[in-house]
Amino acid sequence: MSYTPRPIGRKKSARTAWIVVAIVAIVAIAAIIIAIIFTSNQVGPNPTPTVSPTPSPTKTGTATPTVTPTLSPTPSPTAKPSPSGSGSPSPSPSANPAQAWADQTYGTFATLAWSHTGDAVVRLPQLLGGKIKGGILTFTNNAADDSDFIVQVFDQNGDEMGDPLIDLQGDYAGTVGYGLAAPEISSDSVPTTVQVSSSGNWAVEIAPVSAAPMGFGDYSGDKVILIPAPKNNTLIANYGLIGGHFGMTYYYQNQLFQVLVPNTGGQVPNQSFALNGVPGVIAVLSGGPWSVAQPN
């Protein structure tokens, strides 16, 4: 039996080919794994974070210091609003010619109320860019030990404007007017402050002249009243020397005035006074009852 051996060279070639194929396959698989790992490690662009706006801190204002009542008036609850604008106030429409005349002549403003104990300086109402020429002051004073009670008006230069409006001892309740007559010191003088001298408790209401009682009738004590143009340009007054004094002054167009009764008084019934036939203001200083009327 013959034996023919296989060629050794062919066996080696087949094994070599398989080895090459395996190596190529391993390399390919390794490349794929590396590619996958590399791809998974790639970092994409970070998203821009949305920033919530930081709320601005609420600004806490500095507390406004409380003004002492002697420095700044407190409007009364029934105060009517001041007219707006920087010019002189326009008179409020009124069916009453005396009130319209008073607003036009003396100016109008919101009524103010003050109360205090002892001496004080009260600021009178003023308008930005305008002038308040006059007003009325209704005072009550509870004196301590019958001490002096004095009320004096000063202008913008610190000068006294006429005699004191009130100068007495003891308690007081009444109404006086300031700036009713043309300025006695200079045409540019404007009433700006009232100096009150008192050792007790007192209160004052500052109101425009047009807020004064209107018409003829019976009154008592110090008063300021508006009157229309009286019949026959005549005023009839009844008064007496009660409390030691009586005086009556009439104010009319352009802040002119006429002293009807000097501040001394006497018992005078039915005394007639010739007026100017126009609306005006009557200011009375009296320690008791009095009345004004017009002819029938």
The strand pair at 135-142 and 246-251 is best described as: unpaired
The domains of the chain are located at 67-211, 213-296
For the domain 213-296, what is the CATH code? 2.60.120
Specify the DSSP class assigned to residue 129: T
Candidate from 29-38, 85-94, 110-119, 237-246 with smallest mean pLDDT? 85-94
| CB-CB neighbours of 55 under 10 Å | 6
For the domain 67-211, what is the CATH code? 2.60.120
* pLDDT for position 16: 59
Same fold across 67-211 and 213-296: yes
CA-CA distance, 111 to 107, in Å (whole number)?
Answer: 12
* 1 Cβ contact partners less than 8 Å away, ≥ 6 residues apart: none
In tens, the pLDDT along 62-101 reads 333 333 333 334 333 333 333 333 333 444 445 589 999 9
What predicted TM-score, i.e. pTM, was given to this entire model? 0.67
In tens, the pLDDT along 39-60 reads 544 444 443 333 333 333 333 3
Per-residue buried b or exposed e for 120-154, using 16+ beta carbons within 10 Å of the residue's own CB = bebebbebeeebbbbbbbbbebbbeeeeebebbbb
Sheet holding 148-155, edge to edge: 120-123, 191-197, 148-155, 166-169
* pLDDT for position 72: 38
